[in-house]
A and B are shown apart, each in its own frame.
Chain A
Amino acid sequence: MESSWSTSITQSWKKIAGFAPDALQLIIIIILGFILAWLLKLIVREVLKVVKFDVFGYRVGMTSVLSKASITHSPSEVIGIIIYWCAVLLFFLIALGTLELYAVDHLVTSIFTYIPRFVIAIFVFLLGYFLSRFLSRAILIGLVNAEVRSAKLIASLFQILIIILFSAMAIEQLGIARGIVVATFAISFGGVVLASAIAFGLGGKDMAKDILERRFKMPKEEKSKPDEFSHL
């Protein structure tokens, strides 16, 4: 009886003693991870400040997006925080890998394989978002200067189209329900284009008539005549 107890305790102790170095290694890697992640955050934040990333963020509308989401940090600080937690996660996964457990190893490998696709998807989505803002603003200004009545509507529709396009690309990159995403995108995109065409056709009927009349007929009304003075 006594012998079986002592054997069991000895075996448990041996297991703990065998696991302890791994556990210690895990704790050290995690602590090191936090320190290095903090350092990385600091470096990235300072570099972004030096290259005036916050000014760029303001120009492309990043600051207003953050404030809408009630985030009070500057764009460079937000990037720093994202990098901090990514680095922490990375070190955590490396630490788990030291345990050499099959399930953990499998999980770590899957996550490491998925990370690049996830990063690309985020990048594609952000690119689409900022591109849509930039282009819709350019279209809005151009249409307002051309005195097109539905300028805001057309610019907004264009922005939605770009966001849909890039969102579909991002989701496709993540590999989530590919068939459904492609079908949904095709239906949404086609629907928006058709709706825009109908709206433009109905709303722009008079404008199209005016353009054709101006091109092929002599102007009738005084109001349609251009100014005669030179701006320069």
Chain B
Amino acid sequence: MSKEVKKEVQQIGEVDVLVGIPSYNSARTIPHVVRAVSAGLTKYFPKYRTLLVNSDGGSTDGTQEAVKETTLDDLDVLLMEHPVYPVHKIVTPHHGMPGKGNAFRTIFKIASALNAKACAVVDSDLRSITPEWIELLIEPVLFHGYDFVAPYYKRHKYDGTITNSIVYPLTRALYGKRIRQPIGGDFGFSGRLGQHYLQKRVYDTDVARFGIDIWMTTTAVADGFKVCQSFLGAKIHQPKDPGADLSEMLAQVIGTVFRLMEIYYPVWSEVADSEAVKEFGFKFEVGLEPIRVNLERMVDSFKHGLSNLNPIWKKVLSPDLMIQLEEVASHHVVEFHLPDATWVRIIYEFALAYHRKVMSPTHILKSLTPLYLGWIASFVNQTMESDAGEVEERIEALNQEFEKQKIYLLANWDKGIKP
């Protein structure tokens, strides 16, 4: 924290509720997020001392100025009762390695210094955030004794594919909690959990980038904190080229999941099945814009990967799995199908290869990309005509396959490297 921020923190003294917004070049979208957060704090927590923290990673588009200048113009219309305390704002740049993780560290530090009881973090590029999100992320902590509130969104059936195909089913199978959006990006947490996060030494690693969301969720679950999820509605955020750094993003997220598997082996090895977590919020259907999916390119990537990365995959995957992949690759785009059982085995064998260090961890993780694209292509093929509910059932079936095959993972965890 800079001297100015420390001084500001000392002046504020203590707060009850703190909301953090990590940002980087979000000048276009952040005013809406700041307005929604300020309105949420003023409307739902008028009797509490509240603070909004913007932790910026060195934006050059005027993000910090946009936050400072944003005011709540329609406050009178919105308020049922007059707030006792105004919403304070702290705008601070974060230091260290670039990424969301260090922005979170700054937020945790400020929350700890101000002895905040309940905190939330929300993304700065959200277009669908409403004041109710703040209520739904803070209330379970402040009034119901929960330590961690995961978001639950209504998303397009093909949105969040890393979540749907790997992170959600794997986290659920490992730690036994059905948290639907473990890498949602918007969370609520208690001051106690914030301090717990602050003690961990992960902020100078890859975890501090794309891996921070799954790290927060897993740490909360595995370290025994009380977790729940809140239904927030649709998640719509500023569009960006999703395929631009897919390999890097996938490697960081899955690398974090695999790294946490090493740390929390004593925890997950004892978990036999999964259970639902308490849900807050009122579930409703939302209309979502149609999105374009290039199936041919994905199948092509899978086949290209199989013909080029064969020697690498042979070090990671079992011979029978390699034969199955050859069989899958022999089909044309329309009939392209990667069975659930094969996909689950792939993920478990990648986790085992990472654990046994059969080669550089980065090489293991990055070689997963073509397989992942193959899985998405297969998933899209199967669910092209399905509605959101049917797709959810399809994801549930995949989850059960992950839970069923966990025994394979456990049975092979302590075995040495392949001869």
Contacts and interface: CB of A to CB of B under 8 A. Distances in A.
Q: Is B one of A's binding partners?
A: yes
B312 interface: yes
Interface string B271-310: 0000000000000000000011110111011001100110
Contact of B160 (A138, A140, A145, A232): A232
A7 to B, nearest CB: 70
Counting chain A residues whose Cβ lies within 8 A of the other chain, the interface size class is 20 to 34
B389 interface: no
Given A140-B309, A232-B253, A227 B370 contact: no
A25 B3 CA distance: 76
Contact of A230 (B242, B298, B360, B369): B242
Interface string A117-145: 00000000000000000100110111011
Given A140-B308, A145-B247, A231 B162 contact: yes
Interface residues of B, number: 47
Contact of A141 (B241, B253, B312, B417): B312
Contacts of A5: none
Contact of B210 (A58, A137, A151, A232): A232
A228 B357 CA distance: 35
Q: What does DSSP make chain A's interface, helix, strand, loop or mixed?
A: helix
A106 B285 CA distance: 91
B246 interface: yes
A232 B246 CA distance: 10
Contacts of A49: none
B301 A229 contact: no
Contacts of A61: 359
Contacts of B363: 137-138, 141
A143 B24 CA distance: 29
B394 to A, nearest CB: 16
Nearest to B236: A230
B308 A147 contact: no
Contacts of A59: 357-360
Given A137-B359, A141-B366, A141-B367, A226 B243 contact: yes
A217 B156 CA distance: 30
Interface in B123-157: 156
B202 interface: no
A231 B359 contact: no
Contacts of B308: 140, 144, 151-152
Contact of B156 (A55, A141, A229): A229
Contact of A225 (B213, B292, B300, B356): B292
Nearest to B367: A141
Contacts of B370: 144-145
Contact of A229 (B293, B358, B362, B366): B293
29 contacts: A55-B356, A61-B359, A137-B363, A140-B308, A141-B312, A144-B305, A144-B369, A145-B246, A145-B247, A145-B370, A147-B300, A151-B304, A152-B308, A223-B294, A226-B241, A226-B242, A227-B243, A227-B292, A227-B293, A227-B297, A228-B291, A229-B158, A230-B159, A231-B161, A231-B162, A232-B162, A232-B163, A232-B183, A232-B249
Given A229-B158, A229-B159, 13 more contacts: A55-B357, A59-B360, A134-B360, A137-B312, A137-B363, A140-B308, A142-B247, A147-B301, A149-B304, A227-B243, A228-B242, A231-B246, A232-B162
Interface of B: 156, 158-163, 183, 185, 210, 213, 237, 239, 241-243, 246-247, 249-250, 253, 291-294, 296-298, 300-301, 304-305, 308-309, 312, 356-360, 362-363, 366-367, 369-370, 417
Interface of A: 55, 58-59, 61, 134, 137-138, 140-142, 144-145, 147, 149, 151-152, 223, 225-232
